[in-house]
Amino acid sequence: MIAGVSKAVFSTLATSGVLKRLASRYGMRRPQSFARRFVAGETLAEAMAAAESLERQGLTVTIDHLGESLTASETALAATREYIDTIRVAAAAGISRNLSVKLTQIGLDVDRATATDHLRRILEAAVESDFFVRIDMEGSAYTAHTLDIFENLWGIGYRNVGVVIQSCLRRSADDVRRLNELGARVRLVKGAYREPKDVAFQVKEEVDARFVELMRVLVSQGVYPALATHDPAMIAATQQHATSQGIDKSRFEFQMLFGIRRDLQASLAAEGHPVRVYLPFGREWFPYFMRRLGERPANVGFVLKSLLREEAQP
């Protein structure tokens, strides 16, 4: 219940214009500023530098150009072009060819046709550079639209694309079965959005139990699934299931967020597990940052101390 309250509070704070202006003023001002714990930077160059550093440590990355809920065709088109530029720059830099995309950033709030067309342009650029594109899952109001768009593009032959499923949603077991039947690659997460009771499980223990159930189906029957979690219990459950079923470590990967549990990322990689870091960057970092705080309220003290230090410095 406490976790649910925290998520609700931070979901509300994420929409605060005052906090966003304050964060924009201080959040990325210095190399050690508080937001850089979770966000690689505001520019693509900063993201590339962070990616290269992670890959020297034996990790891989998926690049995420932050932004969401764009309602104007012009800004959605601009975001699409930025994704395509990201693909080209990352390919030239020789880093992991893996990209995460939010459909509301490329026009889903304009209309489905716009988002579909823009995603297709991104996938075409990704094919040229041998990139894999993961469609991020947003709030439950977008779940059906996201999966429909994914299946439409899958149906016309795009295979360099995967999608995300949230274990908190009551519908997810059916979605996982459908995606496994297609042969699609799935990233499994618990879910970072505040959702109504009729749509999502509200108690952590239920969300965790569903995560384990879906993980077992994906690891046993899926195509190179990604288990996105920092929870040692979920990681241990995955390792135990894979061992008991004789499933090699190379058949799935763990994914974690930039700046969170770096020790765990390193230890899993040292054990021979593929580990991919979700690497976000961009000027629209504040809503993402607030969702991360909602997931780990212990980080709030760290952020408040950082803000006070920034305010005190000229």
Concatenated DSSP letters of 45-74 = HHHHHHHHHHHHTT-EEEEEE------SHH
CA distances 241 to 177, 205, 247, 250, Å, are 18, 19, 8, 14
Lowest mean pLDDT among 51-60, 222-231, 288-297: 288-297
Return the pLDDT at 260.
86
On whether the CB atoms of residues 208 and 238 are closer than 8 A, the answer is: no
**CB contact set of 303 (below 8 Å; sequence gap of 6+):** 34, 293
pTM of the predicted model, to two decimals? 0.85
Whether pLDDT at 256 is above 90: yes
pLDDT over 90 for what percent of the chain? 72
pLDDT over 70 for what percent of the chain? 80
How far is Cα 100 from Cα 96, in angstroms, rounded to an integer? Answer: 12
Whether pLDDT at 311 is above 70: no
Return the pLDDT at 67.
78
Exposed (0-12), middle (13-18) or buried (19+): which is 63, by Cβ within 10 Å? buried
Whether pLDDT at 151 is above 70: yes
On whether the CB atoms of residues 137 and 168 are closer than 8 A, the answer is: no
Q: Helix, strand, coil proportions of the chain in percent (round to 5)?
A: 55, 15, 30
On whether the CB atoms of residues 2 and 298 are closer than 8 A, the answer is: no
213-229 residues labelled b (16+ CB within 10 A) or e (exposed): ebbbbbbeebeebbbbb
**192 pLDDT tier (thresholds 50, 70, 90):** confident
**CB contact set of 64 (below 8 Å; sequence gap of 6+):** 99, 100, 136, 278, 279, 280, 281
How far is Cα 231 from Cα 163, in angstroms, rounded to an integer? Answer: 21
Whether pLDDT at 312 is above 70: no
Return the pLDDT at 36.
76
Return the pLDDT at 287.
72
Over range 3-32, report the average pLDDT: 51
Q: The tokens of 218 are what?
A: 């994906």
Return the pLDDT at 298.
54
Q: State pLDDT tens for residues 90-107.
A: 999 999 999 999 999 999
Catalytically annotated residues = 136, 187
Q: State pLDDT tens for residues 67-83.
A: 767 788 999 999 999 99
Q: What is the mean pLDDT of the chain?
A: 86
Q: State pLDDT tens for residues 233-254.
A: 999 999 999 999 999 999 999 9
Whether pLDDT at 288 is above 80: no
Q: Specify the higher pLDDT residue, 18 or 163.
A: 163
Whether pLDDT at 32 is above 90: no
